[in-house]
Amino acid sequence: MTFKLISTAALVVALGASAVMADGHSKALMGAVKARQGQMQLYAHNLGVLGAMAKGDVAYDAAAAQAAADNLVAVSGLNAMTMWPQGSDSTSMEGTRAKAEIWSNFPDVGAKAGAMAEASVAMAAAAGSDLASLQAAMGPLGGACGACHKAYRSK
């Protein structure tokens, strides 16, 4: 929650700064950044629902777990093409933590996104069954998020 508030605040500041000087091009880039960060927030929210159950902070609820896992599958199925335009990396503009390396390693980024989508499908097959199955699917899923962040998201 704290993290979410901080990153939203950072985004608002960045938007304010760029709005002053924005031409149509930088507005379009910022729109793409906002969209992919929104996708990431949807990941974080739904992963959080599953994580809270996995840790026992929240009672296991098969329907809610299934809904969260289904959302991860749906959101990971979005076509990334419109949201990662050239020039929207963190060395070219403010308001993003996307490393420039993304644009020189598309096949690897795609593989990491694919691994996350696969882990989401595995979670969707497990989450609604029972808590132990959900817990077992949690590691690969969280690991898939982390692997991409480690390589392609700046601090």
Q: Which residues bind ligand HEC (CB under 6 A)?
A: 7, 33, 36-37, 40-41, 43-44, 47, 96-98, 109, 112-113, 116, 144-145, 148-149, 152-153
Rounded to a whole number of angstroms, the minimum distance from the CB of residue 144 to ligand HEC is: 6
Rounded to a whole number of angstroms, the minimum distance from the CB of residue 123 to ligand HEC is: 9
- Residue 37, token pair as written in the block: 């960060």
Select 80 or 132, whichever has its Cβ closest to ligand HEC: 80
Select 62 or 93, whichever has its Cβ closest to ligand HEC: 93
Rounded to a whole number of angstroms, the minimum distance from the CB of residue 30 to ligand HEC is: 10
28-33 contacts at long range (C-beta below 8 A, 24 or more positions apart): 28/85, 29/85, 29/87, 29/88, 29/93, 30/93, 30/95, 32/82, 32/83, 32/84, 32/85, 32/88, 33/88, 33/93, 33/95, 33/96, 33/98
- Of 47, 36, 38, whose CA–CA distance to 119 is shortest? 47
Rounded to a whole number of angstroms, the minimum distance from the CB of residue 97 to ligand HEC is: 4
